[in-house]
Amino acid sequence: MFAEWQKDYKQREDTKLLSNFLKNTIEERKLLDSHFAKSSDVVPFLDMLENLASRVGAKAEVLVINVPNDNTGLYVEARAAGSFESLYKFIKLLENSPYETEVTSMNITRVSSSDDAKSASGWTINLKIKLISFIK
């Protein structure tokens, strides 16, 4: 009888410890989760791309999203327009974002004055980005 009581007591204590651990690590787990994009919800990552650009005075748009069959990551093609300085800052912010990314291709072009309405921006950049921290 005493052995059963001891076993039940130990289980309750373990449950309390686990519950306290989970409560104490809520913020850390949220931070860890923020580094990964799930296939069911890539919108935060895409929004982050556009928000980073707007923070530095550029305008970004996502052109293509692709998930290969081998689930090695999420591939995004994006374009941003702005001054050379704003595009440089955008790339630096992207490099330091909470997501693990790899820029697989980058093409920066000066827009001539005879081009379309984006000519006021001065420069455009086309990026191909691999989101490595992607969970299918």
* pLDDT tens digits along 48-105: 899 999 999 999 999 998 877 776 778 899 999 999 999 999 999 999 888 888 899 9
pTM (2 d.p.)? 0.64
Query: What pLDDT band is residue 106 in, cutting at 50, 70 and 90?
Result: very high
Q: How many angstroms separate the CA atoms of 68 and 90, rounded?
A: 26
- Answer yes or no: do 19 and 56 share one domain: no
- Answer yes or no: do 28 and 51 share one domain: no
Domain count, the chain: 2
Instruction: Encode pLDDT of 111-127 as tens digits.
Output: 876 555 544 559 999 99
Report how far apart, in Å, the C-alpha atoms of 122 and of each of 15, 85, 91 are: 60, 10, 16
Range of the domain at 21: 1-33
- Answer yes or no: do 43 and 81 share one domain: yes
